[in-house]
Amino acid sequence: MTVGSVALISLLAFESLAVGTAMPTVARSLDGFSLYGLAFGGPFAASVIAMVVSGIWCDARGPRPSMWHGLVWFVAGLVVAGTAPAMAVLVVGRVVQGFGSGLLSVALYVIVAQVYPEELHRRIFAAFAAAWVVPSLVGPAVAGLIVEHVGWRWVFLAVPAVAVPAGLLIHPGLRSMARAAVTGPPAGARARIGWACGAGVSAALLHIGGQQRGASALLLTAVAVAGLLVCAPRLLPAGFLRAARGLPTVIGLRGLASAAFVGAEVVIPLMLSRERGLTPTAAGLVLTVGALAWSAGSWVQGRIPKPTSRASLPRAGMACITAGIGTVALTVAPGTPLAVGVVGWAVAGLGMGLVYPSLSVLTLELSAPGEEGRNSSSLQLGDALFAATVLALTGAVLGAGAAPGVRSYLATLVVAAGLALLGALLSTRVTPRPA
């Protein structure tokens, strides 16, 4: 079950990263540049909706139905995309694939809650984190080789050959689980799905707006952010906006960490190539250092003794992210050695490795039986929506002028560090008040 679960997480990560490498060739081959933004925004919106559906489904019937439906939707979408005769068909396949990804990601978290003993949760989530990091190291390069030597269609069609066996590895463990009592959907389920549709559409607009320039980018981003402000709080735990103690703060910290890291990650290669003259390969290697440090941090948190305080690992991780991004910001000054930025990004990656798995563990610890699906869904929703919002806003800032400059780099890095600092200050609130 562990091998199959980690393999599926790796495939979800690989596909999300590989498509970015292949899509320019896909759009040129299918004459579909007009649908380029929708090819990314559509699946993201579908995954947001599916996360909510999966959370409801897992709590009502256990993780098995969501797991198998997610695998079928994921594989079917890949096949449709890989055999698409036109860009519109490929977008449909991508949307189906995205829906399957959302179902799978939540179901796998609930499987951890219901199958693995609590003392192994930190280790399995460390393995999940590594399963995301490794594709970030090799995914774009592998996808590029596939596109150049085999053809872009195999970026989609090769994945089912691994996804199906991975699902079969999980099957015996799922079959041995006690069947969940079939209950009706929880109160407010339909309303949650409606709000999820609104959040999904807003998230798609963020993706599309982030690929525009000028006034259209600002308008789409503003509409999307307004939509998220209306819809997202209704999908997250009560007290989320005021950082109430316990689960609301855990969800918020995950979103802040994700937003801070990706907000800096998109700026670093651009800054290093334009201001320091690094080649794309050299700038990419700096990001690789952060990914390796993330994996190392995940490994460390999975093997240290259980902390005496629930806040220890989140606090340490958010502090590392703050310090790391702040150190990277120093490289905006021409006189700062490049090595300073590399070390800073490694520290930020180490912090992400400490934060991500520990917050996943806390989410399950703070979930009452029958609520693992909803809370796992909220965790991943907050993560995705925070990151998408910051990416869109960062793109708008960098594209506001004729060309990005030192001030725009510094502004985005300072905002990213500020988000991480806010998370560090709030980290003590992950512990609920004593009853």
In the predicted structure, residue 40 carries a pLDDT above the cut 60:
yes
Query: 158 CB contacts (<8 Å, ≥6 apart)?
Result: 146
Predicted pLDDT at 208: 72
pLDDT at residue 186, rounded to an integer: 67
- The confidence score (pLDDT) of residue 302 equals 81
* DSSP E strands, 273-362: none
Mean pLDDT throughout 241-248? 87
What's the mean pLDDT in 202-222?
Answer: 73
Query: What's the number of CA atoms in the CB half-sphere (13 Å) around residue 279?
Result: 3
Per-residue pLDDT at 212 exceeds 70? no
Mean pLDDT within 322-329: 93
Q: Show the CA angle centred on residue 27, arms to residues 213 and 8, nearest 5°.
A: 100
* pLDDT tens, residue by residue, 398-435: 665 545 667 888 888 999 999 999 999 999 888 876 65
Which pLDDT belongs to residue 334? Answer: 83
CA distance 250 to 253: 5
Q: What is the pTM of this model?
A: 0.83
Report the pLDDT averaged over residues 353-364.
90
Q: Return phi, psi of residue 100, to 5°.
A: -65, -40
Q: What is the pLDDT of residues 144-203, one digit of tens each?
A: 788 888 888 888 888 888 888 998 888 887 777 665 555 556 667 788 888 888 888 888
Q: Are 152 and 83 in contact (CB under 8 A)?
A: no
Please give the mean pLDDT across all residues of the chain: 84
What pLDDT score was predicted for residue 284? 73
